[in-house]
Structure 1
Amino acid sequence: MKNSESLKEFKKLNSEQITEKIDQLRKDLFDLRFKQATRQLNETHKFKIIKKQVAQLLTLSKNQSASQTTPD
């Protein structure tokens, strides 16, 4: 993924940063949908990239919360 954050960079984030990044990406996705509805969007491939990033961040968030609640 050129010009976007990779999974390695996402793993360096803490839970608050992950939540903020998810919120930002969801806003970006909303903006893309709005542009598509008004026929202003030329780069439709960004939908796939952003949705994939959101899924990766949600998975990391879930894994982090599961590892914190697991008793050692």
Structure 2
Amino acid sequence: MTKIIDIRGLSADQVSDEVLKLKREQFNLRFQRATGQLENTNRFREIRRDIARLNTVARERALEEGATETKPRGKRAAAKAKA
């Protein structure tokens, strides 16, 4: 399990590389589960939470830099944005 302190020490490129690596591992675990070869089912939870930690740090950095580009979610929000 990755500690948030360790994640904050990574560069932006390293964070995105780590997310990509964990998503690949998650994909492989899905195949292992489907074929009945999965032994450590708790690894799904660990990966999901590690990805969330990495995304949180990336989002915090984006907010600090002022790169907050929000996009409307749903039809009502899009209509309000146009008005």
TM-score in terms of structure 1 length: 0.88
For residues 41 and 29 of structure 2, the distance between their equivalents in structure 1, rounded to whole angstroms, comes to 8
Counting aligned pairs with the same residue, the percent is 25
Bigger relative contact order, structure 1 or 2 (CA pairs below 8 A, ≥6 apart):
1
Alpha-carbon distance, 1:5 to partner: 2.2
1:23 maps to a residue whose letter is: L
Larger Rg: 2
Alpha-carbon distance, 1:6 to partner: 1.1
How many residues matched?
67
* Cross-structure match for 2:26: 29
User: Any unmatched runs of 5+ in structure 1?
Assistant: none
TM-score in terms of structure 2 length: 0.77
Alpha-carbon distance, 1:46 to partner: 0.2
CA RMSD of aligned residues (A): 1.0
1:52 pairs with 2:56: no
> Cα deviation per residue 1:13-43 (whole Å; 9 max; x = unaligned)?
1111100000000000001001000100010
